[in-house]
């Protein structure tokens, strides 16, 4: 009689050992997806903040960039800074520290083009484009013309915000990132190898043939800001450093409250649409 319960206990231990890894992976995946959803909501707010700054500041790109950086501060990790001879975390616990953190992040954001081909937080004005100015240097923000949507379009500011959000939860970050990359490459997944998706038998992003697969990239207009070159840079970062960055892209449109200047506009050929 005593052998039965002990056997059942052993069975429970074996079942728990089999289920626990999958359960742990599921929990980590839910946590990472939750953090990504939080980042997406913050990116939506940052795009609104950038559009609002541009609407009030003559579509000034630096003002829009600063507004987006400030809005996304809560999603960024605390970084060590030099202070009093020691490297200690910079805690944003007051206006002074907030300004210091913003200044530090601004420099890091400007320098990040070496890694991604563009800033970690990038704001681009989609409308009005340089072609909308004709031979003028600025557009009257309250000009409505004949009242048609086409006539009112140059008085509406549309910005596109791209944020390279780092996936920080181990194990699941690689699976989520590589699955996203496979989807954007327009190539179907061909099975799993040690929890890692493969494209046409190529383990991503370890195989050198990965660069050839990227020739099949397909994008919608709103994701064209990323481009093949940036995809390859993201893959190189993942391969060499084990850090996975997920681009979150959104747009926002507001009515202009000041005259936009030609010098702040981009050509439509530069917008990737």
Reported as a single tens digit per residue, the pLDDT across 147-193 is 677 777 888 899 999 998 888 898 898 888 878 777 765 544 444 44
Q: Over the stretch 30-76, which tens digit does the pLDDT of each residue have?
A: 999 999 999 999 999 999 999 999 999 999 999 999 899 889 888 87
For a pLDDT cut of 70, what percent of the chain falls above it? 60
Q: Over the stretch 221-249, which tens digit does the pLDDT of each residue have?
A: 444 556 666 777 777 777 777 888 888 88
Mean pLDDT of the chain: 73
Q: What does the pLDDT read at residue 117?
A: 67
Q: What does the pLDDT read at residue 84?
A: 36
Mean pLDDT of 255-269: 86
DSSP per-residue string spanning 111-174: HTHHHHSS-SEEEEEEES-GGGGTT-SB--TT--TTS-HHHHGGGEEEEEEEEEEEE-STTHHH
Q: What does the pLDDT read at residue 223?
A: 47
Query: Strand order of the sheet with strand 202-203?
Result: 189-193, 196-199, 202-203
Sign of the four-CA dihedral 52, 57, 61, 64: negative
Q: What does the pLDDT read at residue 179?
A: 80
Give how far Cα 12 sits from Cα of 27, 101, 107, 159, 201, Å. 21, 51, 55, 56, 38
The pTM assigned to this predicted structure is 0.72
Q: What does the pLDDT read at residue 107?
A: 65
């Amino acid at each position: 009689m005593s052998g039965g319960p002990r056997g059942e206990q052993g069975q429970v231990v074996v079942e728990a050992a089999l289920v626990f890894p999958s359960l742990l992976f599921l929990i980590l995946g839910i946590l990472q997806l939750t953090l990504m959803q939080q980042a997406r909501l913050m990116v939506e707010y940052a795009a609104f903040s950038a559009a609002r700054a541009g609407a009030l500041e003559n579509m000034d790109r630096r003002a829009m960039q600063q507004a987006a950086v400030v809005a996304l501060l809560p999603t960024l990790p605390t970084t060590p800074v030099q202070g009093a001879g020691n490297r200690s975390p910079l805690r944003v616990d007051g206006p002074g520290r907030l300004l210091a953190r913003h200044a530090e992040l601004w420099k890091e954001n400007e320098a990040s083009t070496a890694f991604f081909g563009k800033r970690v937080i990038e704001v681009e004005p989609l409308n009005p484009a340089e072609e909308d100015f004709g031979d003028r240097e600025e557009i009257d923000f309250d000009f409505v013309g004949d009242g048609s949507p086409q006539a009112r379009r140059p008085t509406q500011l549309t910005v596109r915000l791209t944020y390279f959000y780092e996936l920080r939860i181990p194990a699941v970050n690689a699976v989520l990132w590589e699955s996203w990359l496979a989807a954007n490459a327009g190539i179907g997944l061909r099975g799993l190898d040690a929890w890692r998706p493969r494209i046409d038998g190529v383990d991503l992003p370890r195989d050198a043939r990965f660069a050839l697969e990227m020739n099949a990239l397909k994008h919608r207009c709103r994701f064209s800001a990323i481009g093949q070159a940036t995809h390859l840079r993201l893959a190189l970062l993942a391969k060499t450093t084990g850090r996975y960055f997920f681009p979150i892209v959104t747009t926002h449109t507001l009515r202009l409250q000041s005259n936009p200047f030609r010098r702040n506009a981009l050509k439509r050929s530069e917008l990737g649409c």
